[in-house]
Structure 1
Amino acid sequence: MDGGIDLIRQHVQAFLQESGSHGFDHTARVTRLCRRIGLSEGADMAVIIPAALFHDIARPLEEETGIRHEEQGAEMAEAYLRSAGYPGDMIHSICHAIRSHRYSSGIAPATLEAEILSDADKLDAMGAVGIARTFMQAGEDGTGIPGAVAHFHEKLLKLKDRMYTDTAREIAEERHAFLVAFLEGLEGEEGGH
């Protein structure tokens, strides 16, 4: 199985060569979080790890195609996994986790593995890494510090209360506190204090 995971990692990396707020480094962190949460929560690691690796594979294509990356990514994962001989029920579970991972997808995770992927993806938007990614995204979008601060209020500060698993809730508490402290300092400096 580990050889299969290495092949998936290489396959996904070929699609996520550009650095940025959703580059392969994000995928690697989400995969590590999924492993940590999955082991703690008793998840099926043969489902959660491939789902984590594939979860943003179509992110670079979304702007070009207009197709939501979670939908196109699930289709790309399914095609790859079928060609690699994965069992159909496992493919279904992996693809469900990919389709339901996005904060704004409107699809509720229906399995533990899908909940964990959703939690891990949200956790990577919190804490020190989340702050760095927010400012990277604001730079990519050209919205600067005001855009980053707006993103904190519109999304990031709400994530702590949207975790599914106990393990993720524990991690989120610490990362949320870091976000709040950073934002208070930033807004204080922006206000001239």
Structure 2
Amino acid sequence: MKLDEFITNKESLRLIERTREYARHFFEREGTHGFSHVERVLNLCMHIGREEGADLEVLALAALLHDIARPLESSGRVEDHAVEGARIARQYLRSLGYAEDKIEEVAHAIEAHRFSRGPEPRTLEAKILSDADKLDAIGAIGIARVFMYSGEHGRDIEASLRHFEEKILRLKDLMYTETARRMAEERHRFTEEFIERIRREIEGEI
């Protein structure tokens, strides 16, 4: 995706590209929450944000920075990557002289992006980031990510299917924006079809 299709201001584009490179260095390896996930969330945010009339600069910065502390959480160095990510984002954006009100909008979106814990997103940009993060767990990409995670953690197919039923299939009903709800319906349907197919194959029916 070319960002200049969504953001035409050259200064904004330079800031976002600089932030992309800053965010990238936090991820030493790929995986279910690697930098490719960040890039997909950014793409989703731009598409949803344009439809919903969001501040695309704030949204792009929040998307790029939303998981920068995930590796720290995974290694046990911090308890909550959203809280730590917001702290790092504030520090980084202040070092660039970014406007304080915009910094707080970015930080809030990062703090509120996790669907499983608070705070509740207050702004449109925070709601879109949360929606985009959830959308990346549904559909073809979501299926791939579930099995990537299973491979990383030695989880078998049955355990993976339980994860779909306990978490993934509930996500479509947790979207905040109308655009994300439409996207989630299609991805959810694809996921249900996959689960039905794999269960039939497990039973030897196909």
Normalised TM-score (structure 2)? 0.91
Number of residue pairs matched? 193
Partner residue in 2 for 1:88? 100
Aligned-partner SS, 1:65: coil
The amino acid across from 1:166 in the alignment is E
2:115 pairs with 1:103: yes
The offset of 1:172, in angstroms, is 0.5
The amino acid across from 2:43 in the alignment is R
Partner residue in 1 for 2:42? 31
2:71 pairs with 1:60: yes
Partner residue in 2 for 1:159? 171
Residues 51-101 of structure 1: CA deviation (Å, up to 9, x unaligned): 000011111100321421111111111110010111111011101100110
Q: Which runs of 5+ in 2 are unaligned?
A: 1-11
Partner residue in 1 for 2:18? 7
The offset of 1:192, in angstroms, is 2.6
Distance 1:17 1:66 in 2: 17
2:179 pairs with 1:170: no
Aligned-partner SS, 2:17: helix
The offset of 1:140, in angstroms, is 1.1
Residues 22-78 of structure 1: CA deviation (Å, up to 9, x unaligned): 111000000000000000000011211000000111111003214211111111111
Residues 131-150 of structure 1: CA deviation (Å, up to 9, x unaligned): 00010011112112122111
- Which of the pair is proportionally richer in helix? 1
Partner residue in 2 for 1:48? 59
The offset of 1:105, in angstroms, is 1.8
The offset of 1:152, in angstroms, is 0.3
Report the RMSD for the aligned CA atoms in angstroms.
0.9
2:83 pairs with 1:71: yes
Distance 1:27 1:76 in 2: 16
Deviating beyond 2 angstroms after TM superposition, the runs of 4 or more aligned structure 1 residues are: none
Identity fraction in percent = 52
Partner residue in 2 for 1:145? 157
